[in-house]
Amino acid sequence: RSSHGAQIFENQMIIFGGWNGKDFIEDVCWKLSLDTLVWTPIEIFGDVPCTRYGHSFVRYLNRILVFGGWHEERDPSGATNPAYLNDTYELILEPSVLKFFCGMWILEHKLDYRSSSHPLPPA
């Protein structure tokens, strides 16, 4: 797997998305126990991001923000066309719930979304 997102949370490594180097893009979330070195899929609830690679995957306390990246779309002939994504999702790590993070909150409060100097909105 390459071009995935990865973060450490407590004694686990969380990964999402990525490309297998051939023809498959991931849309699943996995955790690796750093104590046992065992991989386990994370059950996802709510709105789930589409398959993606090359995305941002940033942890803040018990949340991970997933932003943008690339998605492969197939045209009627079966050819794949990469499409740039401009969406944001939030993974709340306790409990493991991947849900849509409303980008409209950022726009309504006139935050500079190009930097990370503003606090996240309350959950």
CA–CA distance, 13 with 6 (Å, rounded to integer): 7
Higher pLDDT, 34 or 42: 34
Q: Does a structural domain hold residue 52?
A: yes
Residue 122 lies in a domain: no
Distance (Å, whole) CA 47 – CA 62 = 18
> Has residue 69 been placed in a domain?
yes
Residue 114 covered by a domain: no
Asked whether the predicted pLDDT for residue 113 surpasses 70, the reply is no
Q: Is 23 left (phi over 0), alpha (psi -120 to 50) or beta?
A: alpha
Does residue 61 lie within any of the structural domains? yes
Position 118 in a domain: no
Tell whether 123 is covered by a domain.
no
Count of domains for the chain = 1
Tokens (6 digits) for 74:
């197939």
Which range has the top average pLDDT, 1-10, 32-41, 47-56? 32-41
**Cα distance between residue 59 and residue 94, in whole Å:** 13
Q: Is residue 32 part of a domain?
A: yes
Domain containing 94 equals: 5-108
Angle at Cα 45 formed by Cα 41 and Cα 48, nearest 5°?
85
Indicate the length of the chain as a whole number: 123
The mean pLDDT of the chain is 77
Q: Does the pLDDT of residue 103 top 80, yes or no?
A: no
Q: Please name the residues in contact with 92: beta carbons below 8 A apart, sequence gap of 6 or more.
A: 62, 63, 98, 99, 123
pTM over 0.75: no
Q: Between the CA atoms of 23, 38, 60 and 87, what dihedral angle is there, to the nearest 10 degrees?
A: 20
Phi, psi of 110 (to 5 degrees): 55, 45
